[in-house]
Amino acid sequence: MNRKKHAKPRMGFKTEGSSAYLQQHEILGGKGMVYITPYSNGNWYFRTWISEEGKYLRKSLRTKNKKDAIALAEKEYLKVYATLDKGFKIFGLKFTELCEEYLTIRQEDVDVGRITQQRHSTIKTQINRWIIPYINPTTKVSELNRESFRRFFVYRKQQTKNKVEDVTIRNEQTTINSIAKFGYRKGYLPFEGFDFDPIKIIEPPRRDTFSLEEYKMFYPKLGEWVNDAVDSHEEYMRKIIRDFILLKSNTCMRFGEIRNLQWKMVKTKREKGQNLVWCELPAEICKNKKYREFWSRGGTYLDRIKKYSQFTDKENFVFSHPKFDRPLAKPTFYKYWKQLMEFSGFDVIEKDLSYYSLRHFGITARLIAGVPIYNISEMAGTNVQFIEQHYAHLDMDKLKEDALKGFSISEDGFDVKN
């Protein structure tokens, strides 16, 4: 008589000899077992069969109470089953797969507003560009130890020919240990963090920015660049980038904040000969996840955008695509910044100027104008200590003297004299 063979269950309890066990008890109808051995000092253990990998999963439950052990084992079984159901391995999990699972969880943080999409993109870039390549692609999580990333600092310096800042590497090491903590919570790693060679950052790094004289030279180039456009599409793109640059220099907003700015978040007002703008930035677009509101100069640029953009309703994005109501893509911003640097001749100076330089320049301008640091911190969305640390090297009296030669100082910044 032929008997129909049954497929092996995906996970379950596989009978073993019981002579090594003092006590054992099946859970969930035989899908696993809790047990005590002569060497477990009365502590209960959990065991289940992982059929996909042909191995038993064994884990200490750290309790001597049988009832608690059964409850913990059932919970552990469900966690393992959920992991397998997502396509992840229990024993053969590669480090690259751990990183993928970590990124999936961080995307869920984006969905509920715990971190921004921009922050997620930064983490993803750190992982894919630097962290994963440091480890052999075939390395399994079980092969890692606390020393696995010990020389990451040296590796990063070598890969970038010593051009990477120490604080950048330290941020990447923070991401590495966030992955480790995640792996520990999931039961993939037996430790919560890797050990690194210490990084001593003596003073905060300073990013390149425009000097007063450089900005005086750069400012008129914006108009020349717009006038040099070859067609209507190119003219729009250059106009929107120009006004993005000028508004950013005035408001000191971060790149992600101003890129996601909607018309409902701003309003302009003419007062004391200045065209001001009132900004209300919701927490979800701010890097520090804190709502902020402030007055700034720059209303002129918003009024100008309304004259050439077709997306000016409250829900529309201020710096939108010419044909679609969505923010310009980040690569588009960088493409036109590179083009502008070449047009203006600033690509050949010994500075790495970027959109961040505009925020740095705007803060400097207000310090020169004598605006209280607290007011600047409220507008820029950063703390007073940060501004004191990063701008303490500035000689304000000398800068203000130089500024008066080519700039008009106002109570909250300055204008270029045309």
Instruction: Please give, one letter per residue, the 3-state secondary structure of 135-182.
Output: CCCCCEHHHCCCCCCCCHHHHHHHHCCCCCCHHHHHHHHHHHHHHHHH
Looking at CATH, the fold of the domain delimited by 212-416 is given as: hpI Integrase; Chain A (1.10.443)
What is the tens place of the pLDDT at every residue in 319-331?
A: 999 999 999 999 9
Work out whether the CA dihedral 5, 11, 13, 14 comes out positive or negative: positive
pLDDT at 5: 41
113, 284 in Cβ contact below 8 A?
Answer: yes
For the segment 366-377, the average pLDDT, to the nearest whole number, is 86
Q: How confident is the model at residue 17 (pLDDT cuts 50, 70, 90)?
A: very low
Domain residue extents for the chain: 11-85, 95-186, 212-416
pLDDT at 9: 39
Q: How confident is the model at residue 151 (pLDDT cuts 50, 70, 90)?
A: very high
Q: How far apart are CA 197 and CA 200, in angstroms?
A: 10
- Name 416's bridge partners: 407
For the segment 302-309, the average pLDDT, to the nearest whole number, is 96
Q: How confident is the model at residue 385 (pLDDT cuts 50, 70, 90)?
A: confident
pLDDT at 52: 76
Least confident among 75-89, 145-159, 171-185, 384-398: 384-398
What is the tens place of the pLDDT at every residue in 51-91?
A: 877 888 888 999 999 999 999 999 999 988 887 776 666 76
Q: Using the predicted structure, report yes or no on whether residue 202 has a pLDDT greater than 90.
A: no
For the segment 223-249, the average pLDDT, to the nearest whole number, is 96
Q: What is the mean pLDDT of the chain?
A: 85
Which helix (H) or strand (E) covers residue 287, if one does?
Answer: none
Least confident among 50-59, 263-272, 386-395: 386-395
CA dist list (Å): 216 to 116, 191, 220, 416: 35, 55, 8, 6
For residue 245, what are its two tokens? 């640059």
Q: Using the predicted structure, report yes or no on whether residue 165 has a pLDDT greater than 70.
A: yes
277 CA to centre of own chain: 28
pLDDT at 411: 41
272 sits in the region (left: phi over 0; alpha: psi -120 to 50; else beta) called left
Q: Using the predicted structure, report yes or no on whether residue 44 has a pLDDT greater than 90.
A: yes
Counting residues of the chain whose pLDDT is more than 90, the rounded percentage is: 54
pLDDT at 400: 53
pTM for this model (two decimals) = 0.57
196, 150 in Cβ contact below 8 A?
Answer: yes
Q: Using the predicted structure, report yes or no on whether residue 291 has a pLDDT greater than 60.
A: yes
pLDDT at 28: 92
Q: How confident is the model at residue 143 (pLDDT cuts 50, 70, 90)?
A: confident
Counting residues of the chain whose pLDDT is more than 70, the rounded percentage is: 86
Q: How far apart are CA 268 and CA 276, in angstroms?
A: 6
pLDDT at 87: 63
